Amino acid sequence: MFDFNDAEPQMGPIGELIPDGTFARLKLKIRPGGVDGAVPADKGLLRSAKSGDAKMLDCELIVMSGPYARKRLWQNFTVAGGKTDDKGQSIAWKISKSTFRAMIESATGIDPKDMSDAAKQKRTIQSLSQLQGIEFAARIMIEPGEPGYRDQNRLANVVIRGEPNYEAIMRGESVEADPVNAQPKKPKAQASGAPAWGSDAPAQNAGNSWASQSQPAQAAAPAPAWLS
């Protein structure tokens, strides 16, 4: 006899998008791309961009609770290269860095305004590989695809302590969606006398500015505080 009463409801059709603005607890899974990071622990962890000098963390985000549990979305987070600011720092890395900070704060329940030594310690990790398996509250959006490409689910924002529904999301409860309503991307302007891709070329001498901000390499880095 086979009793299917305790089986989970079937997943939605493959390719069906998670509704825009859905809140859920997500788990981050890193998909190594064979490119070395700044510290030994990140050897082979990153992925190179198809064009330009950017290096990215290729992530699979798994929904851990609610009606869309087990569904997945994919997102790249640039950690080096690309366009730089007036100080020569990677603009995309600064954005990714803020997102990773929010993930850690969400996973551990740290108040973003808490600058105590204990909070600072939790925000410090020895390698990007230690983000593997982190679970955090998030809002999911639908990003309109460029002409000829389908729409995709993306991480809209990480939900942190103090924001509405944070506790409920982390407990796995259903929360009313808050649509983002992202606008379709506009076609890139054609620069006179220059190919369109020229405007996206990385700035010259755009070094791996993030590497200098990383923690010193250690033979055996301890697990970050939020994993305990």
**Residue pLDDT, tens place only, 17-53:** 999 999 999 999 999 999 999 999 999 999 999 888 9
Residue 81 has pLDDT above 80, yes or no: yes
Mean pLDDT calculated for residue range 140-160 = 93
* Cα(192)–Cα(119) distance, integer angstroms: 51
Q: Is 66 left (phi over 0), alpha (psi -120 to 50) or beta?
A: left
Confidence of residue 7 (pLDDT cuts 50, 70, 90): confident
- pLDDT one-digit tens code per residue, 178-196: 999 888 776 666 555 444 4
Domain ranges of the chain: 22-178
**Whole-number Cα distances in Å, 34 to 45, 56, 117:** 6, 11, 35
